[in-house]
A and B are shown apart, each in its own frame.
Chain A
């Protein structure tokens, strides 16, 4: 079967699909990880630890066929639902003597995924409706399954933007969707800062310390920003979906090399809050609240308590000396990002 192989922070992943369109989609989505064609590869000691197989289906099976009755609804956000099947329930069905790990099911109405954590395998069923928004298929549906598998391998997701300041400090911008992460990241990039991610990071640990690195992908920029900031039109544009355009942010801001880094401390954490005021301003933020928001924005933070404990410990270590701010974010970012960026460096204003 056609397949690609790539490595994210040392964890090898293969993605296979009969559909050439799906292979092209994921080759493009993971372009910063230089995926290689592995269709004809034979298994080796370096075989990928994680596998994602995608299968096209004209329509999804009925939910009762898709989700076993022993699985429990675990989370529901909009059209996204996630079920978990506990080890005992699986083993009771298959083999009472066996100890089987958790299995998860995602149903997104237009696509569905089953994730077997122990084997590191996920199978995704993809309908033509899902292919109408291919970037969402890759960036949300399939990514959920992959992030779950990566978590089981101690690579933890953090939903935050990361930008390196002119003073070489790492700033994280944290917040839920539509909090302004990408706008702020792009604005700071135009102001001479070096953005390495507009919304996703991975947290891990090696023999030296805990680290944090960008999950390298396109930046998803709101279309209005291209009108506001004409210079942004020089960025390589790749896809468009709804009111967003995917741009090669790492190329545009010349941060591809920097995005390979493992950052070992967070210098600043920013929580943006959009306000109707003439100028943006910073307020101090309790570090306890900043850490809470980071944990809230970590996908699957609640899954597997030993991982939760580990992730919490690493996050605390990374943010041990971080300064935390609430950014009351005004329209001045749209009017003049270079000027607005001075809110972060008042002494140089």
Chain B
């Protein structure tokens, strides 16, 4: 009897809110669970949209799509894709699902317009939103006053 192997599907985190700012060139993910803020470049946006739309949910498929979209060789695409997936995984933005359940936004599948010259996918993290700051026009002044003596 032949065993059937199940290839896990890569699933994006549901709380990751994605915004594309300039067509295909600048994107943001705000993780609404921990308020980590990520900036994405064009290749990163491309891969994220492939994942989020359900168009490609495995490393092989993602690498193939990246190679075709940016006209780069397959080896480089695979290397960069796996590195990017590791980074997403390390930040808790993706996980493997064996039941095929995925957050899917088909609207993201379309990739219109021209892509810029290829640069490896980048995910830049900022933690500055994780802390509540009490800001107000007079906050500095209150600090200057201090408390009662």
Question: Which A residues contact B (CB, under 8 angstroms)?
Answer: 59, 74-75, 77-80, 82, 108-110, 127, 129, 133, 135-136, 139-141, 143-144, 159, 176-178, 198-200, 220, 241-242, 244, 286-289, 291-292, 295-297, 299-303, 305, 308-309, 312-313, 316
A219 CB, nearest partner CB in chain B, Å: 10
* CB-defined contacts of B136 to chain A, threshold 8 Å: 139-140, 143-144, 159, 299
Residues B148 and A110 in contact, CB atoms below 8 Å apart: yes
Q: Determine which of A79, A129, A301, A313 lies in contact with B129 in the assembled complex, contact meaning CB atoms within 8 Å.
A: A301
Residues A292 and B37 in contact, CB atoms below 8 Å apart: yes
User: Nearest chain-B residue to A300 (Cβ)?
Assistant: B132
Selecting from B21-29, B62-70, B83-91, the interface stretch reads B21-29
Residues B138 and A139 in contact, CB atoms below 8 Å apart: yes
Whether A159 touches B135, Cβ cut-off 8 Å, given contacts A178-B140, A288-B28, is yes
Q: Determine which of B15, B128, B139 lies in contact with A292 in the assembled complex, contact meaning CB atoms within 8 Å.
A: B128
User: Nearest chain-B residue to A309 (Cβ)?
Assistant: B32
In the complex, besides A178-B140, A287-B21, A292-B126, 11 extra interface pairs with C-beta distance below 8 angstroms are A75-B131, A78-B142, A109-B146, A110-B148, A140-B136, A200-B137, A287-B22, A296-B133, A299-B136, A305-B33, A312-B32
Q: Determine which of B30, B132, B142 lies in contact with A79 in the assembled complex, contact meaning CB atoms within 8 Å.
A: B142
A238 CB, nearest partner CB in chain B, Å: 15
B129 CB, nearest partner CB in chain A, Å: 6
Residues B137 and A303 in contact, CB atoms below 8 Å apart: no
Q: List 20 A-B contacts (CB under 8 A).
A: A59-B148, A75-B134, A77-B135, A79-B145, A108-B147, A129-B147, A129-B148, A133-B145, A139-B136, A140-B142, A159-B135, A177-B137, A289-B39, A291-B19, A291-B28, A292-B28, A292-B129, A302-B35, A308-B35, A313-B17
Q: Determine which of A77, A242, A289 lies in contact with B133 in the assembled complex, contact meaning CB atoms within 8 Å.
A: A77
User: Nearest chain-A residue to B148 (Cβ)?
Assistant: A129
Residues A79 and B21 in contact, CB atoms below 8 Å apart: no
* CB-defined contacts of A289 to chain B, threshold 8 Å: 39
User: Nearest chain-B residue to A181 (Cβ)?
Assistant: B137
* CB-defined contacts of B28 to chain A, threshold 8 Å: 288, 291-292
B33-71 interface bits toward A, Cβ cutoff 8 Å, 1 = contact, 0 = none? 101010100000000000000000000000000000000
**Does any Cβ of A come within 8 Å of B143's Cβ?**
yes
A78, A200, A289, A308 pick with most chain B CB within 10 angstroms: A78
A176 to B148, CA, bound (A): 26
Q: Determine which of B21, B27, B129, B135 lies in contact with A302 in the assembled complex, contact meaning CB atoms within 8 Å.
A: B129
Residues B143 and A144 in contact, CB atoms below 8 Å apart: no
How many residues on the B side are at the interface (Cβ–Cβ under 8 A)?
Answer: 36
Q: Determine which of A108, A291, A296, A316 lies in contact with B142 in the assembled complex, contact meaning CB atoms within 8 Å.
A: A108
**Does any Cβ of A come within 8 Å of B144's Cβ?**
yes
**Does any Cβ of A come within 8 Å of B1's Cβ?**
no
A269 CB, nearest partner CB in chain B, Å: 12
* CB-defined contacts of B21 to chain A, threshold 8 Å: 287-288, 291
8 tightest CB-CB pairs across the interface, nearest first? A109-B147, A78-B143, A75-B132, A140-B138, A77-B134, A287-B21, A288-B39, A140-B136
Whether A302 touches B130, Cβ cut-off 8 Å, given contacts A109-B148, A286-B26, A288-B26, is yes
Residues A77 and B139 in contact, CB atoms below 8 Å apart: yes
Q: Determine which of B37, B128, B129, B145 lies in contact with A136 in the assembled complex, contact meaning CB atoms within 8 Å.
A: B145
Q: Determine which of B22, B32, B138 lies in contact with A305 in the assembled complex, contact meaning CB atoms within 8 Å.
A: B32
Q: Determine which of A75, A200, A302, A309 lies in contact with B17 in the assembled complex, contact meaning CB atoms within 8 Å.
A: A309
User: Nearest chain-A residue to B15 (Cβ)?
Assistant: A305
State which residues 116-136 of B face A: CB under 8 Å.
126, 128-136
Residues B26 and A242 in contact, CB atoms below 8 Å apart: no
B9 CB, nearest partner CB in chain A, Å: 25
**Does any Cβ of A come within 8 Å of B141's Cβ?**
yes
A128 CB, nearest partner CB in chain B, Å: 9
* CB-defined contacts of A316 to chain B, threshold 8 Å: 19
* CB-defined contacts of B139 to chain A, threshold 8 Å: 77-78, 80, 140, 177
* CB-defined contacts of A78 to chain B, threshold 8 Å: 139, 142-143
